[in-house]
Structure 1
Amino acid sequence: MDGITPLHSAVLVKDVDIFKILLENGADFTAFCNFRNQTVIHSAAAAGNLEMFLTMVRYNADMSVQTNNEKGDRPIHLAASMGHVSIVEWLIENGISMEITNKEGHTPLHRAAFRGKIRVVKLLLKKGADVNIRTKNKERNTALHLSVIGGHAQLVKLFLQMGAEIDAEDGTDNMYTAMHYAAQRNGLLCLIELQRSGGNIYMNVDSKNGEALIITAAKYDSVDVAEWLLDRGIHLDIRGKGGRTPLHYAACNDSPMVTILLLDRGADVHSQDDELRTPLFCAVLKRHAETAGLLLYEGADAYTENIDHLNAFDCAAMVGGLRCLKVLLIGNTVKSGGNKYGDFPIHFAAAYGHLDVVDWLIDRGSAVDIRNNMGSTPLINASWGGHCNVARMLLDRGADVNATVEKADNRSVIHSASFSGNAQLVELLLEKGATVNARTSTNNRTPLHWAAQEGHLDIVRLLIKHGADATAQDIYGLTAEGVAFSKG
């Protein structure tokens, strides 16, 4: 194998005689193996070969050398991870600290806990290892946390018997306890052990991190844990941060199994969070079409508006969720008249540059020049956002290249494009017949004024090349050059 020295090979095949002969003949035992970036002492510790390990000791190998990778494990970490009690014990008895860390900030106890090596854990605790010692990293996990993350219920029980803090929170913004990790990992057996030892499964938004266990389970599609919690009386529609229910979290995080469970148990499909978003809105926001379909089947209302007066159709168009739009339009139609501001899905799709959505909506009957309450068209929205491909498609579909926004100073398509800074888009509009010297109604400014104001020199040159009047003045008597000068 590439990068493996003969010494490493001898360890891998457990040939002690060859191993000793190589050492006696001057083999370099300090070399790192490219296979795992380990020296021979690491390989011997990981393999659990005590005879080879002690042979290395006689050659004065460094007992605390770190692997040359992102983990930076020392021999004791590798031995602990693999469950090699005899090597771990020898290292401790010969001066290696039980609190020594690798590059990830893990002690031998943390490594053994995560890997489920109960005999090593018992040895370390017997030798006096701190059961509540934290990892030296941003997670600040305890061994109990890591045993839950690894799914080792027997170790969870042992740690609790040895005095592990059941409610210890990690160092992340989530402030997760061991119970949260059990809910996150669908670790039902671990959660049961934690509850038996006094863990509170009824913790709610009054707890420090504000996250009930059912919400954690919903976020990570931990259906076994969610069902177990509901069977024990956990409130189906408990509110978490922002007023979101478990169904909101399941929908937002694409947790289909928990979504089905919650709906079967009668979760309120119409519930709204503090921003008036429904679970359906959340599913669409994250483009989870299958989850959206489940919610619609159970009666979710696609027209319910959030605090910004956007419905699920608007949201799908805004985020480019074409599959969600198709699901929403099964048995529904886009609301006539648009939302409170007169915007239709095509306005949002164009504004955010979603070519496929705009194209599909037009095929479904959306008017190419439909106006919102301000008078803006999809082409104006696309130009304001600098979306050349969307603009080209709209023009090919017959959009008015000289449309203006009546209630926004009669800003034209080319005004919007000049402001956006997309020279390719401006050139496209000019080729399609845009009026190069169009004026706004209040300030009497041309596209050249707008390009100069924003410092888009390439567009300034392009407009002048196509006949823009560099001497044109706005109502303040400023030319494009004067506007640029006033902006600094």
Structure 2
Amino acid sequence: MVAKREDRRGPWRTEFAWTLQEAAGQGHLETVKWLYGYDPQSAQALGAAAGNRHMDVVEWLWDQGARGGDFDPMDAAAANGHLEVVKWLHERGVPGSRAMQNAAAGGHLEVVKWLYSNGGGYSADVMDAAAANGHLEVVQWLHANINRLRGYLTAKTMDIAATHGHLEVVKWLHARKNVYKKGCTQEAMNGAAKNGHLAVVEWLHDNRTEGCTTAAMDGAAVNGHLDVVCWLHDYRTQGCTGNAIKWAAGNGHLPVVEWL
């Protein structure tokens, strides 16, 4: 018969809190209870359980006095779209510094709506988070209900959408240029080129006037996007700097080095 170890000896002792967090995140309540009994480092554990909708673990930890920490339970629940967990935590006064932003980043529109209706903190970063992840439906709702009314209309939103390759979001924002008068900046094409989003680069070239800088070809080269490098050479005049070939070589992109 193997005796239970009661002294927490072993190579895992310095990671005890992470062990508890892992058990909570996987929903293993009995394991959580055992671990908690020897070292109640519960702040991150509550966030892990909330983020994965393990309400039995959330409720048990709450009853033991857990109230969250760096891995905030409200932010974690919102990030994964767990509206019922968000409501439960809200009823108990648990705040969330990034809850609405996290929900928008995950495309969880119903969570975004609920948080906004119930006093969730809002900033322009919420719409930027939705745009960065291509969640057009969230972008549209935020525009209609918040941004347009509050004046949160910056070029950063289109820049971010372009950088991450979300062409439909870029087009939608462009179509409302009478509202989003700032449109985008050169960072839109620079970012799209760096990340290899040639379709976005081409669309911006054909439909916008901001253009790009040498950072576009430099960025495309460093990441090995030869098709983008070639296109920029053929259709843009900015060229690149000496960093393009140096960085491409440093990352082992031989076809780019040979072409440059």
Give the alignment partner of residue 283 of structure 1, picking from 197, 216, 219.
216
Residue 201 of structure 2: aligned partner: 259
Contact 2:106 / 2:130 at 8 angstroms: preserved in 1?
A: no
List alignment gaps of at least 5 residues for structure 1.
1-20, 66-72, 135-141, 169-176, 206-210, 272-277, 303-310, 325-355, 362-488
Supply the AA of the counterpart residue of 1:111: A
Residue 161 of structure 1: aligned partner: 117
What is the DSSP-based 3-state SS (H/G/I as helix, E as strand, rest coil) of the residue aligned with 1:197?
helix
List alignment gaps of at least 5 residues for structure 2.
249-254
Q: Aligned pair in 2 of structure 1 residues 95, 252: CA closer, same or farther (>3 Å)?
A: closer
Residue 183 of structure 2: aligned partner: 238
Equivalences for 1:122-133 in 2 at 5 Å? 122-130=87-95, 133=96
Q: Aligned pair in 2 of structure 1 residues 296, 204: CA closer, same or farther (>3 Å)?
A: farther
Q: Report deviation, 1:32.
A: 7.3
Deviations 1:381-405 (A, max 9, x none): xxxxxxxxxxxxxxxxxxxxxxxxx
Residue 218 of structure 1: aligned partner: 162
Deviations 1:9-44 (A, max 9, x none): xxxxxxxxxxxx97xx4334846786xx55775455
Output the TM-score relative to the length of structure 2: 0.73
Give the alignment partner of residue 62 of structure 1, picking from 23, 39, 47.
39
Equivalences for 1:258-407 in 2 at 5 Å? 258-264=200-206, 266-268=207-209, 279=212, 281-286=214-219, 287=221, 289-295=226-232, 299-300=235-236, 302=237, 312=239, 315-316=240-241, 318-321=242-245
Contact 2:134 / 2:161 at 8 angstroms: preserved in 1?
A: yes
Q: Aligned pair in 2 of structure 1 residues 31, 188: CA closer, same or farther (>3 Å)?
A: farther
The higher-RCO structure (CA 8 Å, 6+ apart) is: 2
Output the TM-score relative to the length of structure 1: 0.42
**Within the alignment, does 1:26 sit opposite 2:4 as a pair?**
yes
Larger radius of gyration: 1
Q: Report deviation, 1:319.
A: 2.6
What is the DSSP-based 3-state SS (H/G/I as helix, E as strand, rest coil) of the residue aligned with 2:111?
helix
- CA distance in 2: counterparts of 1:158 and 1:360, whole angstroms: 53
- CA distance in 1: counterparts of 2:137 and 2:258, whole angstroms: 51
Supply the AA of the counterpart residue of 1:64: Q
Q: Report deviation, 1:193.
A: 3.3
Residue 110 of structure 1: aligned partner: 75
Deviations 1:313-369 (A, max 9, x none): xx35x23439x9xxxxxxxxxxxxxxxxxxxxxxxxxxxxxxx999989xxxxxxxx
Contact 2:226 / 2:256 at 8 angstroms: preserved in 1?
A: no
Deviations 1:274-312 (A, max 9, x none): xxxx52644223335422433455x43x3xxxxxxxx62
Supply the AA of the counterpart residue of 2:93: G
Q: Aligned pair in 2 of structure 1 residues 119, 253: CA closer, same or farther (>3 Å)?
A: same
- CA distance in 2: counterparts of 1:223 and 1:357, whole angstroms: 25
Supply the AA of the counterpart residue of 1:149: A
- CA distance in 2: counterparts of 1:109 and 1:158, whole angstroms: 13
Q: Report deviation, 1:178.
A: 0.7
- CA distance in 2: counterparts of 1:32 and 1:121, whole angstroms: 37
Contact 1:160 / 1:197 at 8 angstroms: preserved in 2?
A: no
What is the DSSP-based 3-state SS (H/G/I as helix, E as strand, rest coil) of the residue aligned with 2:177?
coil
Q: Aligned pair in 2 of structure 1 residues 86, 261: CA closer, same or farther (>3 Å)?
A: same
Q: Aligned pair in 2 of structure 1 residues 128, 42: CA closer, same or farther (>3 Å)?
A: same
Contact 2:50 / 2:76 at 8 angstroms: preserved in 1?
A: yes
Deviations 1:210-233 (A, max 9, x none): x43112212222223212212333
What is the DSSP-based 3-state SS (H/G/I as helix, E as strand, rest coil) of the residue aligned with 1:74?
helix
Q: Aligned pair in 2 of structure 1 residues 357, 122: CA closer, same or farther (>3 Å)?
A: closer
Residue 197 of structure 1: aligned partner: 145
- CA distance in 1: counterparts of 2:181 and 2:193, whole angstroms: 14
Supply the AA of the counterpart residue of 2:158: I
Contact 2:158 / 2:184 at 8 angstroms: preserved in 1?
A: no
Contact 1:76 / 1:108 at 8 angstroms: preserved in 2?
A: yes
Q: Aligned pair in 2 of structure 1 residues 117, 283: CA closer, same or farther (>3 Å)?
A: same
Q: Aligned pair in 2 of structure 1 residues 196, 89: CA closer, same or farther (>3 Å)?
A: farther
Contact 2:44 / 2:71 at 8 angstroms: preserved in 1?
A: no
Supply the AA of the counterpart residue of 1:220: H
Supply the AA of the counterpart residue of 2:87: K
- CA distance in 2: counterparts of 1:227 and 1:267, whole angstroms: 10
Contact 2:105 / 2:129 at 8 angstroms: preserved in 1?
A: yes
Q: Aligned pair in 2 of structure 1 residues 281, 48: CA closer, same or farther (>3 Å)?
A: closer
- CA distance in 2: counterparts of 1:359 and 1:253, whole angstroms: 20
